[in-house]
Structure 1
Amino acid sequence: MLGFVSAILPDHDLAGVFEVAARLNYDCVELMCWPPAGGERRRYAGTAHVQAEGFSKADAAEVLKLAADHGVTIGGLGYYPNPLDPDADAARTAVAHLERVIDAAALLEVSVVNTFVGRDPAKRVEENWPRFLEVFAPLVARAAERGVNLAIENCPMSFGKDEWPGGKNLAYSPAIWRRMFEDLPDDCFGLNYDPSHLMFMGLDPYAPIQQFGDRIHHAHAKDVRIDRAARQEFAPLEDPERYHTPKLPGFGEMNWGRFAGLLYEVGYRGPVAVEVEDRAFEGSDADVELALKISRDVLRPFWPR
């Protein structure tokens, strides 16, 4: 199923998001579920097309009817905070809302909630690990009890002054994923796989698909352009914004046919959601729709209706 991430339509209500998806011939949408107040307001964050707080069976029925009326489905719910935030209040807020998003997904019979593990960026991986287990063991159990997959996006989140150098998401590399799944082995705990993050770090974006195919519960389609001269100048350990640029599928370095073929080979048949973070297409609603049209036309041969 080909979809897109609703964060790129922050000024549209839910009906408007579904209308865009239907008109542009997308199959599904990953709906953002940030809190209505008090959540992060970084770029691409803070949008709520499903209000998870106080979400009821009646709300779920209304949302599902709206989707059905437009002929699209909900590919997943998305909420990407830092559940391991060193600020204890911020961490509690993130975890509590993530619990509500998991509950909302169960009511909607949506199979996956996409999120971040989070991290204290001032601490090493080993120092973050006990808190990761403390926070995520009950979240994974909650998801399993409700029949929901909990999928972690693999972005290192090391793009801003308050995120550098450690980043705000622990789950950025295959070695860490392997350890996560050994320590929290429930099959519902897996990946929201975005190959662009591996590519800008200089890692192979294709090989992990074969290694972790049974743990891929959702996928993002975002491309990346690497300025190799800048990376040689600043070094890969420098702020990644100095040498990489998120692009639409087809405008960067990903081989989407190879990516799609590997996903099919490991048996993945779930949503592949276009994540528009290409700033060349953010000037207007018309630019955003153009971005979604271009992305659809690049990817549709690999994920036909």
Structure 2
Amino acid sequence: MRLGLLTACFPELSLEEVAEWAADNGYASLEAAAWPAGSDHPHDAAHLDAEFPQQEAERVQELLDRLGLTVSAVVYCENNLHADTEERDRIHRHLRACVETAAALGVSYVSTFVGRDVTRSVADNLRLAERLLPPLVDYAGERGVRLLAENCPMEGSHPDGYPGNLAYSPELWEWMSDLGLLLDFDPSHLPWLGIDAEDALEFALERGLVAHAQAKDVEVDTRLRTRYGVFGRTVGRASPVDAGWWSYRVPGRGRLDWNRIVDILHKARYTGTLAVEHEDPVWGGTAEHTKQGLRIAARTLLPLVSPGDPAPQRR
């Protein structure tokens, strides 16, 4: 197993800067963000150009080889069932470009969202996904790439903060796999949904659904949950993601048992990447705070992911 990081937490840094910092701080792999340049979302970044020429692929590979890093997945998590058909088509075009980038770099996975048309019922969305997603899966497969879906509920995509990504529960992971998408497993989303993260991981591994894994923690205030309810605050809600009773944290600063989670992965003989996704409001806001949060995550996870192994050395 390799410890990685999702590069989206460093939108202001170049790929070279992120890669060099990662290699110097115990990380062996990058889950490389490939959103279109110019996105103003705080968790989007364009560290890989989704339409780069072969010469650029050679430059990126040379950088990775020099630092002893790999790219575990190309990431473009967007709403593939967007209600606006023009926006949906744009998202699909960029997702296909990400597949081309992954193929050029020899990367096996592109991670995305299923998404949701918020103007339709869940049942109608399932039928929509069954029509729209298989052609994207086939496009990737023809190029030796597998599409993954992260299990983030994407409550920010729904005007009321309800699930905006139909990949949030183990029931939907099996449905997704029937469409050809495997799972980019992130345990942090599960506790606040009332799902046991360890049990869900064992369920997914037993069925061969997990191709890639992320490491993010969650802090839950049960007293505030009693006040607001599981759907979160209503009066004074600043944004769809402002639930008021839970927040994401770096591994080691939340409630998840990383000894157990990593042990479950080892038990299943998982040999892929466990990539830290940094969305911690305490250790965020600036590049230096973000780096400190990632150091905390590395100190928490490195002894578990590669017990007894030294941190990778720069070449």
Partner of 1:282: 284
Shift in Å, 1:207: 1.4
Partners of 1:163 and 1:157 in 2: how far apart? 11
Partner of 1:72: 69
Within the candidate set 130, 138, 143, 2:140 is matched to 143
Partner of 1:106: 103
Pair 1:58-2:55 in alignment: yes
Partners of 2:172 and 2:10 in 1: how far apart? 32
Query: Could you give the per-residue CA deviations for residues 82-126 of structure 1, whole angstroms, max 9, x where no partner exists?
Result: 111101111111111001101111110111111101101232221
Partners of 2:20 and 2:279 in 1: how far apart? 21
Partner of 1:177: 173
Partners of 1:221 and 1:57 in 2: how far apart? 32
Within the candidate set 212, 216, 220, 1:222 is matched to 216
Coordinate RMSD, CA, aligned:
1.5
Shift in Å, 1:249: 0.4
Which TM-score applies when normalising by structure 2? 0.90
Partner of 1:299: 301
What is the DSSP-based 3-state SS (H/G/I as helix, E as strand, rest coil) of the residue aligned with 2:131?
helix
Shift in Å, 1:137: 0.3
Check whether the contact 1:33–1:50 (CA below 8 A) recurs between aligned residues: yes
In the alignment, residue 242 of structure 1 is paired with which amino acid? G
Shift in Å, 1:278: 0.7
Partners of 1:164 and 1:269 in 2: how far apart? 38
Partners of 1:165 and 1:293 in 2: how far apart? 31
Greater RCO between the two (CA within 8 Å, min separation 6)? Answer: 2
What is the DSSP-based 3-state SS (H/G/I as helix, E as strand, rest coil) of the residue aligned with 1:302?
helix
Partners of 1:283 and 1:100 in 2: how far apart? 30
Shift in Å, 1:209: 1.9
Partners of 1:198 and 1:36 in 2: how far apart? 31
Partners of 2:199 and 2:115 in 1: how far apart? 24
In the alignment, residue 66 of structure 2 is paired with which amino acid? D
Partners of 1:134 and 1:287 in 2: how far apart? 43
Within the candidate set 208, 212, 216, 2:204 is matched to 212
Partner of 1:134: 131
Partners of 1:231 and 1:285 in 2: how far apart? 31
Where does 1:18-167 land on structure 2 (aligned, <5 Å)? 18-37=19-38, 41-45=40-44, 47-53=45-51, 55-159=52-156, 162-167=158-163
Check whether the contact 1:122–1:166 (CA below 8 A) recurs between aligned residues: no
What is the DSSP-based 3-state SS (H/G/I as helix, E as strand, rest coil) of the residue aligned with 2:160?
coil
Check whether the contact 1:84–1:117 (CA below 8 A) recurs between aligned residues: yes
What is the DSSP-based 3-state SS (H/G/I as helix, E as strand, rest coil) of the residue aligned with 1:31?
strand
Where does 1:216-255 land on structure 2 (aligned, <5 Å)? 216-238=210-232, 241-255=243-257
Partners of 2:173 and 2:99 in 1: how far apart? 21
Which TM-score applies when normalising by structure 1? 0.93
Partner of 1:8: 9
Shift in Å, 1:281: 1.4
More off after superposition, 238-247 vs 212-221? 238-247
**Percentage of matched positions with identical amino acids:** 34
More off after superposition, 221-230 vs 280-289? 280-289
Partner of 2:195: 203
Q: Give the gaps of 5 or more residues in structure 2.
A: 234-240, 310-315
Partners of 1:164 and 1:150 in 2: how far apart? 28
Partners of 1:289 and 1:79 in 2: how far apart? 22
Check whether the contact 1:84–1:119 (CA below 8 A) recurs between aligned residues: yes
Runs of 4+ in 1 over 6 A off after TM superposition: none
Q: State the number of aligned residues.
A: 296
Partners of 1:280 and 1:22 in 2: how far apart? 24
Q: Give the gaps of 5 or more residues in structure 1.
A: none
Shift in Å, 1:165: 4.2
* CA separation of 1:166 and 1:287: change in aligned 2, threshold 3 A: closer
In the alignment, residue 134 of structure 1 is paired with which amino acid? R
In the alignment, residue 86 of structure 1 is paired with which amino acid? A
Partners of 2:165 and 2:8 in 1: how far apart? 19
